[in-house]
Chains A and B, each alone.
Chain A
Amino acid sequence: MAAPFDLNDDSVVVIVGSGAGGGTLGTELALKGVKVVILEAGKRHNMEDFVNNEWESFAQLAWTDMRTTSGSWRVHKNFPNLPAWIVKSVGGSTVHWAGASLRFQEHEFKTRTTYGDLDGANLLDWPITLAELEPYYAKAEDRMGVTRTNGIPGLPGNNNFKVFEAGAKKIGYTEVSTGRMAINSQPRHDRGSCQQIGFCFQGCKSGAKWSTLIAEIPRGEETGNLEVRPESMVLKIEHDNSGKATGVVYVDKDGKTQRQKARIVAVAGNSIESPRLLLNSASSMFPDGLANSSGQVGRNYMRHMTGSVYGIFEKPVHMYRGTTMAGIVRDEAGFNDKRGFVGGYEMETLSLGVPFMAAFLDPGGWGRSFTSAMDGYVNTAGLWIVGEDMPQETNRVTLNTEVKDKNGMPVANVHFDDHPNDIAMRTHAYKQGAAMYDSVGAVRTLPTPPYPSTHNLGTNRMSEKPRDGVVNKHGQTHDIPNLFVSDGSQFTTGGAENPTLTIVALAIRQADFIAGEMSKNAF
């Protein structure tokens, strides 16, 4: 049962956002006996309510509140008000994530040391190492039920995977499998196994896929220590004269402004909203926004080097049947600068339905070249590339004071330009992806530009020294001891891996730290 806490209860931990970071942190703290209020801007849905229809589901789940964009990325031209395709609902983007769950590689925590000083890149080593995170990765894999860990078998390969696997092997790749997925290949933790429904991006209706909505938050609520308040949009974090956070101001489901007191505030609104909230909380004591003495809040926005390759074949593939992303090639993930770029990338199977294929295949494209590709839909196989992009100070989330949302809060502007390293890596990946499909008889391959960002990282980054970043190795802000960042915005650099397993591992680790400090009467 949800435990309703009083607005004036200043003993609670207030968490902003209920996604991978916030939902995990809140649940873990509740399990440890800490009282938690999660404020979530979106509504709460049950898994039965999810819809197997791309646009309808988008309307149900996606964050569509106003945002603006700038920079040379193509998203700015084609989707000027949709920089990111992420969720506004209880469970956050874990509701429609694909489930790929990979650990970072050791060197990816030490990119400044490994890659050196790269022009234009604001590289920095993480203040933690793989060894420090490993026990938390293990805990995260266990609670998320990641396949190929903890004795859980891999998922069976679908048609899209079979084409992908055959092509990968043909061109000499060896690290090819249906991957490590937080999707049950067999019943586990009260959740059934994958029914190969094929709408993982629209919310899993079978419950096979892990999300904080179905697998974490209910466990937290059972303890009586966790209350989740949906449709509660936080506008501002407040502090006292000593510079300690005291609570948050939010607009509730009836449009009323409320003030929730707190002992600790943790921000987990994803990498666009989290810096927006810190910046919007500027005060006379902190004129540049909270936790921003370094000037790094909102900077170093990363979105992974992405892109897709589709291959059209003579015969049917039916790529949309079954799991959306259970297929991976890891051979290009390591560090090997002979390829002409630093960092690495993964290739993962991906399918879109006809409506999203039309919207994202070649945004703005039209005419016979476009429609003949659509006509090949049923014979199409698809893969997504996801690689490490370079943090750049100028890639940045700022407050756009000229555009306000319905609560009068300035919207986030997302500025992004590719780094030359990102472009070199994408060119390489397009070539390799096309070669995979060509090797098994593709009649046409289509290098498809990045979609609105699904991985948003880095805008409140971790650093050893306060002058280089926003939070320390526990996600605690350098400036305000009882203010934490608990989502992907903590990432110092992005790695080649899909980020959620790392977000969850960091949240579990942060819960240990917060509970430990609380018991020592800190804050």
Chain B
Amino acid sequence: MTTLIDRRSPSRGPSRRNILGMIGATGALMISGLAVINPREAWGLEVVALKPETMRTLIVMARDVYPHDRIADRFYAVAMKPYETDAAKDPALKALVEEGVITLDTLAKARHGVAYADLGWEDQRVAILREIEDSAFFQKVRGGLVVGLYNQEEVWPIFGYEGASAEKGGYIDRGFSDISWL
């Protein structure tokens, strides 16, 4: 069983020294034992079925596929979490994901000498994704993400979308025709 993303108290997180030792190009995403953690956003995602490094790479990749600078990492992590849950039950999926990440890292190392998630520039990572965008791995991740990311109610306000309205009486008295700049 994997845990949901926890809001970890700093005292339960890894020591500050460990964290410093691990900070790379991927900014706030780190590995601690069997978890991907983000101390800045105060969450951790336990990873058992997949390698923790794989999950970290998936989260970086998710942002590269649908980059929104105003959306925090945790939303991308929530969108990628099903791969951990499903990989536990589905060996074929697990292989697809693990091998897909190996491909990303192999390409990154050949081009730039470091793993995909450690590449400093989004452009460098995106160039690698463009090379594999027709692969089953990429299509699987993108297809899951387009629902998994944009269907989170918590991200809607960031886009200015207000979601369900029936229980609020619709918009008849709440600005359905309030446009003023035309």
Residues of A within 8 A of B (CB): 51-55, 156-159, 162-163, 166, 194-199, 205-206, 314-318, 320-322, 353-355, 357-359, 364, 366-368, 370-371, 374-375, 377-379, 440
Residues in B neighbouring A364, C-beta threshold 8 A: 142
CA distance A195 to B92 in the complex (A): 48
Q: Is the CB of B166 within 8 A of A159?
A: no
Number of residues of chain B lying within 8 A (CB) of chain A: 36
Judge if B67 is at the interface, Cβ distance under 8 Å. yes
Per-residue CB contact flags for chain B residues 166-178 toward chain A (1 = under 8 Å, else 0) read: 1101111011111
B86-103: which residues lie under 8 A (CB-CB) from chain A? Answer: none
A197-B166, A206-B166 known; A162 and B159 CB under 8 Å?
A: no
Judge if B20 is at the interface, Cβ distance under 8 Å. no
A198-B165, A358-B150, A367-B126 known; A162 and B68 CB under 8 Å?
A: no
B124-166: which residues lie under 8 A (CB-CB) from chain A? Answer: 126, 133, 142, 146-147, 149-151, 155-156, 159-166
What is the distance, in angstroms, from B59's C-beta to the closest C-beta of chain A? 16
8 contacts between A and B (CB under 8 A): A53-B164, A163-B182, A196-B171, A316-B179, A322-B172, A358-B150, A359-B146, A366-B65
CA distance A348 to B123 in the complex (A): 38
Q: Which B-chain residue is minimally distant from A360 (CB atoms)?
A: B146
A318-B160, A320-B162, A377-B160 known; A206 and B170 CB under 8 Å?
A: yes
- With beta carbons under 8 angstroms apart, the residue of A157, A194, A321, A371 that contacts B175 is A321
Q: Which A-chain residue is minimally distant from B149 (CB atoms)?
A: A358
Sorted from nearest, which 9 A-B pairs have the closest CB atoms? A378-B160, A195-B170, A52-B164, A322-B176, A358-B150, A197-B170, A321-B171, A196-B176, A377-B159
Residues in A neighbouring B176, C-beta threshold 8 A: 156, 158-159, 196, 198, 321-322
Q: Is the CB of B67 within 8 A of A53?
A: no
CA distance A371 to B75 in the complex (A): 15
Q: Is the CB of B159 within 8 A of A315?
A: no
CA distance A368 to B175 in the complex (A): 31
Known contacts A52-B165, A157-B177, A358-B147; 9 additional CB pairs below 8 A are A52-B164, A196-B176, A199-B164, A199-B165, A316-B179, A321-B165, A354-B159, A366-B142, A375-B68
A198-B170, A374-B68 known; A55 and B126 CB under 8 Å?
A: no
- With beta carbons under 8 angstroms apart, the residue of A159, A195, A206 that contacts B178 is A159
A163-B182, A368-B67, A378-B161 known; A355 and B147 CB under 8 Å?
A: yes
What is the distance, in angstroms, from B159's C-beta to the closest C-beta of chain A? 4
What is the distance, in angstroms, from A321's C-beta to the closest C-beta of chain B? 4
Q: Is the CB of A55 within 8 A of B177?
A: no
Residues in B neighbouring A367, C-beta threshold 8 A: 65, 67, 126
Interface SS majority for chain A: loop
Residues in B neighbouring A195, C-beta threshold 8 A: 166, 169-172
Q: Is the CB of B67 within 8 A of A196?
A: no
Q: Is the CB of B179 within 8 A of A159?
A: yes
Q: Is the CB of A322 within 8 A of B163?
A: no
In the complex, which of the residues A55, A318, A378 has the most CB atoms of chain B within 10 Å of its own CB atom?
A: A318
Q: Is the CB of B172 within 8 A of A196?
A: yes
CA distance A377 to B133 in the complex (A): 25
Q: Is the CB of A318 within 8 A of B175?
A: yes
- With beta carbons under 8 angstroms apart, the residue of B68, B126, B133, B171 that contacts A322 is B171
Q: Which A-chain residue is minimally distant from B166 (CB atoms)?
A: A205
Residues in A neighbouring B174, C-beta threshold 8 A: 321
Q: Which A-chain residue is minimally distant from B180 (CB atoms)?
A: A315
Residues in A neighbouring B142, C-beta threshold 8 A: 364, 366
CA distance A157 to B150 in the complex (A): 28
Judge if B181 is at the interface, Cβ distance under 8 Å. yes
CA distance A364 to B172 in the complex (A): 35
Q: Which B-chain residue is minimally distant from A318 (CB atoms)?
A: B175
In the complex, which of the residues A194, A197, A198, A359 has the most CB atoms of chain B within 10 Å of its own CB atom?
A: A197
CA distance A302 to B176 in the complex (A): 34
In the complex, which of the residues A162, A364, A375 has the most CB atoms of chain B within 10 Å of its own CB atom?
A: A375
CA distance A158 to B171 in the complex (A): 10
Q: Is the CB of B151 within 8 A of A55?
A: yes
Residues in A neighbouring B155, C-beta threshold 8 A: 354
In the complex, which of the residues B164, B165, B179 has the most CB atoms of chain A within 10 Å of its own CB atom?
A: B179
- With beta carbons under 8 angstroms apart, the residue of B147, B159, B172 that contacts A55 is B147
What is the distance, in angstroms, from B87's C-beta to the closest C-beta of chain A? 22
Q: Which A-chain residue is minimally distant from B155 (CB atoms)?
A: A354
CA distance A55 to B162 in the complex (A): 15
Q: Is the CB of A322 within 8 A of B160?
A: no
Q: Is the CB of B151 within 8 A of A162?
A: no
What is the distance, in angstroms, from A365's C-beta to the closest C-beta of chain B? 9
Q: Is the CB of A320 within 8 A of B159?
A: no
Q: Is the CB of A320 within 8 A of B161?
A: yes
Q: Which B-chain residue is minimally distant from A359 (CB atoms)?
A: B146
CA distance A198 to B150 in the complex (A): 19
CA distance A472 to B70 in the complex (A): 59
Q: Which B-chain residue is minimally distant from A381 (CB atoms)?
A: B179
CA distance A317 to B161 in the complex (A): 11
CA distance A162 to B176 in the complex (A): 10
Residues in A neighbouring B126, C-beta threshold 8 A: 367
Residues in A neighbouring B156, C-beta threshold 8 A: 353-354
Residues in A neighbouring B67, C-beta threshold 8 A: 367-368, 371
